A and B are shown apart, each in its own frame.
Chain A
Amino acid sequence: MVLRLGRMVGTTHPAETDEHALAALMVGHEVQLELDKEPAAPQDTVLDIHDLRVLDDRHGLAVDGLSLQVRAGEIVGVAGVQGNGQTELVETLTGLRAMNDGRVSIAGKDISHASPRQVTELGVAHVPEDRQRDGLVLDFPVADNLMLNTYYLPPNARGITLQDRVIRENAVRRVAEFDIRTPGIDAPVANLSGGNQQKVIVAREFSRPIKLLIASQPTRGLDVGSVEYIHKRILAARDAGTAILLVSSELDEIVALSDRIAVMYKGRLTGVVKPDEVTRQQLGLLMAGYTEDERASSPDER
């Protein structure tokens, strides 16, 4: 039985159906499972990470000498088993966590010790890993969450006075544009489904001029329709010339979206590969800590 928008749209037996058919029922039309992606046209380097070292909350080394570049117009996927330093990496890049050593620059500007606001103002969008903890103020209405990091900028504010009318108009536009299903822009965002909460974040982050998108687990726990929608938005951003760092523990998502895949293991990169040049098995080995050289020679020895 498949439910959509509060209605039963179909009934089927597990034996008689497959994933394609179920997905089609759930999103309301035949979804394309094959990737419809133009080849990337990478341009200048936007994000430049050099020999980054970051400590985690327990003062262990979470990111251990990591270097990576992301260029405009490409998606670099960071694959890896959760807890291998991805969270700390993203927090450091967005100014939420202080780095121990190394250097990070965005579009040529050093942000090694920048605050979250300075990073945001450089044109960095951040879809956080835990949307309810970091990305949203659940008690606040949709309208307020849509301007959570631009509330102080004109036209949202003039001096210290919030421009209610402008904020509301913008909220209405975003809700329409990003198809956010909400009882209204005044409804607390906590009342929305997970997919629509994520759409609020995406709407907020994608609605301002951005050079770099850092998306961490952007589709975790979402329904198929929302997953599809967010993937579409990410690709559109890439085609518009945004550099994108995609962190996900969904290997399928990484493979489908990325132009290059960086595999992270214990705070280091075990390899940077192109998705069409590796098999799942090879990726799995990299995620388990076998470096590319070892993979080429003899993985059995380890």
Chain B
Amino acid sequence: MSSVEGNRTNLPTNGKQRPASRRQPRHAGWGQGFLLPLLAIFTALVLGGLLILVTDLEVIAAFTRIPRQVADPFTNADTQISLEEALWHHPPEVSMGDLVEVDGTAKRVVAQVEDEQEQISLETARELYPQLGPGVTIHLNFLQKPAVGLRAAWQSVSRTYAALFEGAIGNPSRMAAVVRAWLQGDPSLLPQAFYPIMESLVVATPYILVGLAVALSFRAGLFNIGAEGQYFIGGLSCVFVGYSLKGLPIYIHLPLTLLAGVIGGGLWGAIPGLLKALTGAHEVINTIMMNYIAFALSDWLLNGPMQRPGGFTPVSPEIQPSAMLPSLFPSPIRFHAGFFLALACAAAVYWLLFKTTVGFELRSVGANPHAARYAGMSLTRNFVLAMFLSGGLAGLAAANEISGLTHYMPNAFSAGYGFDSIALALLGKSHPVGVVLASLLFGILRAGATRMQSVASIPIDIISILQATIIIFVAAPEIIRMIYRLPKGKKAGPAKASTAAEAAAEAAAEAGAESVE
């Protein structure tokens, strides 16, 4: 370095300029951004399938002991008829072992018609056990009859996932039929057919809001573990405004109720933000502690000052009708306007984060607090603001649930939204669009799980395992890259790769031009 400092004036000013004017989409890595989560979900489903297999007793049986009746010749519906059926054809004088004539063929009457599928020919059986005679049942293992095990495995998994899908979205053919009926003027079956998907959206609604809450705090570099507590406080303040104010018109009372949730959760979140900004206390510890305080506070309020009059259970009074979000469909469908409120919030968070100076500050503080200070941004203000907004969104999630769904606040209010929200923000890469998609996925999984449990008798817990697996894969994308042999690193996205290649080509051309002169 020492010999080359100094002032040089005849620097090449590089007349033809860099291709900076090329208009690129602002988020050039989207291809990769979607691919990895999708592969993560897919891989998790495969792993979930394996888990279903190893826990399904039927499948285990099909892999270990396959019962087969040794028969010679094969008996089936062509040559046999059950006693019950024979009696129907020839009442009343048929008995076991008789030959009866049905539809022109003679059939032997047996107790139960053996399915060819469950038999094994004497010939085959004697290859295994030479002494065998017809009529006994032997057990085969997986290697002797692999198709059985595999078929049982496939059936088990496909039945489970089909139930999950039907429970979450609905039965496609039935939905199509109902829509056809509706077009012909019969809307009576519509609610039933579309109930599953509507229910998924209902479940997804609070997920969207709490996911946005945590995503926003992530963007500001804060790890808000306290969404659960903020959710509770938001619920308490919302329900209080909802039942205590009476006689207001809906267009005043409803916004007021929702706003109460926002402010309650927001203030609860702002406390750890303020503590961090002023004292440096870590927000992870403080938000967790604030959770415990929130739970205890809610417990006390619902058992005391806010308990429903005349009741003994820890539930709040019901909110006034003027504080209720309108439900958009008749009774069995719980879908309410809150879903659109959540989507609007996602759009608002997107706008705030990426299109305003407020969001620019939040993101700068999150991405590099040193540079943010250097650029004149106040860390204190942004920490408090981020935590207020984050808590406000969590509070709104609670207000939304109360105002749109439950209409009161029970003691066991949250279904772990506060903790799922961290997973949602991770899965959605802290981007509002990603969070909405992740929330829809979680809503679908949760709503479908109920039907899956009843139809396929797969325990609902498998869904939690699925969710956890998805999160692990999203949090550790290297695993996915390894499994699917994807190229490494951020720049691997197709959009970026192409621009990088162009830039390199141009640079090379430029260098060529320079070395020529």
**Chain A residues near B (Cβ < 8 Å):** 4-7, 9, 19-20, 23, 28-29, 31-37, 94, 96, 115-117, 120, 126, 128, 133-142, 144, 148-149, 151-152, 157, 160-162, 164, 171-172, 175-176, 179-187, 191, 219, 224-225, 227-229, 231-232, 235, 250, 252-253, 256-257
CB distance from A203 to the nearest CB of B (A): 11
**In the docked arrangement, what's the CA distance between A28 and B516, Å?**
11
**In the docked arrangement, what's the CA distance between A120 and B358, Å?**
19
Closest 10 CB pairs of A and B: A117-B376, A19-B3, A5-B511, A175-B20, A149-B375, A176-B17, A183-B503, A23-B4, A32-B8, A224-B4
B20→A151 contact, CB < 8 A: no
**In the docked arrangement, what's the CA distance between A13 and B405, Å?**
80
What would be 26 A-B contacts, judged by CB atoms less than 8 Å apart?
A7-B508, A28-B514, A31-B8, A32-B9, A33-B3, A35-B6, A36-B8, A115-B376, A120-B376, A126-B374, A128-B374, A137-B364, A137-B368, A148-B374, A151-B357, A151-B360, A157-B356, A172-B21, A182-B20, A184-B24, A224-B4, A225-B11, A227-B4, A227-B5, A228-B4, A235-B7
Interface string of B499-517 (1 = CB under 8 A from A): 1101110011011101100
Interface string of B257-293 (1 = CB under 8 A from A): 0000000000000000000000000000000000000
State whether A184 and B4 are in contact (beta carbons under 8 Å apart), knowing that A5-B507, A135-B371 are contacts in the complex.
no
Residue on B with the closest CB to A37? B7
Contacts A6-B504, A29-B10, A117-B376 supplied; 14 other A-B pairs, CB < 8 Å:
A28-B12, A29-B12, A31-B6, A34-B6, A96-B374, A133-B368, A139-B368, A144-B360, A160-B356, A160-B357, A161-B355, A162-B360, A175-B20, A184-B22
**In the docked arrangement, what's the CA distance between A5 and B506, Å?**
10
A229→B11 contact, CB < 8 A: yes
Question: Is B26 interfacial (CB-CB < 8 Å)?
Answer: yes
Q: Which of A23, A33, A148 is packed against the most chain B CB atoms within 10 Å?
A: A148
Interface string of B353-376 (1 = CB under 8 A from A): 001111011011001101111111
Complex interface: chain B residues within 8 A of A224 (CB):
1, 4
B20→A171 contact, CB < 8 A: yes
Partner of B375, one of A31, A116, A179, A227: A116
Residue on A with the closest CB to B491? A191
**In the docked arrangement, what's the CA distance between A35 and B500, Å?**
38
CB distance from B231 to the nearest CB of A (A): 28
**In the docked arrangement, what's the CA distance between A80 and B18, Å?**
38
Question: Is B331 interfacial (CB-CB < 8 Å)?
Answer: no
State whether A6 and B360 are in contact (beta carbons under 8 Å apart), knowing that A32-B9, A35-B6, A164-B355 are contacts in the complex.
no
Complex interface: chain A residues within 8 A of B512 (CB):
7
B499→A6 contact, CB < 8 A: no
**In the docked arrangement, what's the CA distance between A193 and B23, Å?**
22
Complex interface: chain B residues within 8 A of A227 (CB):
1, 4-5
Residue on B with the closest CB to A204? B375
Complex interface: chain A residues within 8 A of B371 (CB):
133-137, 148
Complex interface: chain B residues within 8 A of A250 (CB):
1-2, 5
Partner of B374, one of A135, A180, A185, A232: A135
CB distance from B348 to the nearest CB of A (A): 13
A160→B358 contact, CB < 8 A: yes
CB distance from B35 to the nearest CB of A (A): 19
State whether A5 and B510 are in contact (beta carbons under 8 Å apart), knowing that A148-B371, A179-B18 are contacts in the complex.
yes
Partner of B511, one of A7, A137, A186: A7
Residue on A with the closest CB to B16? A176
State which residues 358-413 of B face A: CB under 8 Å: 358, 360-361, 363-364, 367-368, 370-378
**In the docked arrangement, what's the CA distance between A253 and B358, Å?**
40
Question: Is B179 interfacial (CB-CB < 8 Å)?
Answer: no
Question: Is B45 interfacial (CB-CB < 8 Å)?
Answer: no
A256→B360 contact, CB < 8 A: no
Complex interface: chain B residues within 8 A of A35 (CB):
6-7
**In the docked arrangement, what's the CA distance between A166 and B506, Å?**
26
State whether A139 and B24 are in contact (beta carbons under 8 Å apart), knowing that A7-B515, A151-B360, A232-B11 are contacts in the complex.
no
State whether A252 and B2 are in contact (beta carbons under 8 Å apart), knowing that A162-B360, A179-B18 are contacts in the complex.
yes
CB distance from A97 to the nearest CB of B (A): 10
State whether A228 and B374 are in contact (beta carbons under 8 Å apart), knowing that A172-B21, A176-B17 are contacts in the complex.
no
State whether A181 and B18 are in contact (beta carbons under 8 Å apart), knowing that A148-B364, A149-B375 are contacts in the complex.
yes
Complex interface: chain B residues within 8 A of A149 (CB):
374-376
Complex interface: chain B residues within 8 A of A225 (CB):
11
Complex interface: chain A residues within 8 A of B378 (CB):
115
Question: Is B309 interfacial (CB-CB < 8 Å)?
Answer: no
State which residues 149-169 of B face A: CB under 8 Å: none
Residue on B with the closest CB to A145? B371
A231→B375 contact, CB < 8 A: no
Complex interface: chain B residues within 8 A of A235 (CB):
7
CB distance from A149 to the nearest CB of B (A): 4
**In the docked arrangement, what's the CA distance between A187 and B490, Å?**
12
Complex interface: chain B residues within 8 A of A126 (CB):
374
Complex interface: chain A residues within 8 A of B2 (CB):
250, 252
CB distance from B293 to the nearest CB of A (A): 33
Complex interface: chain B residues within 8 A of A139 (CB):
367-368
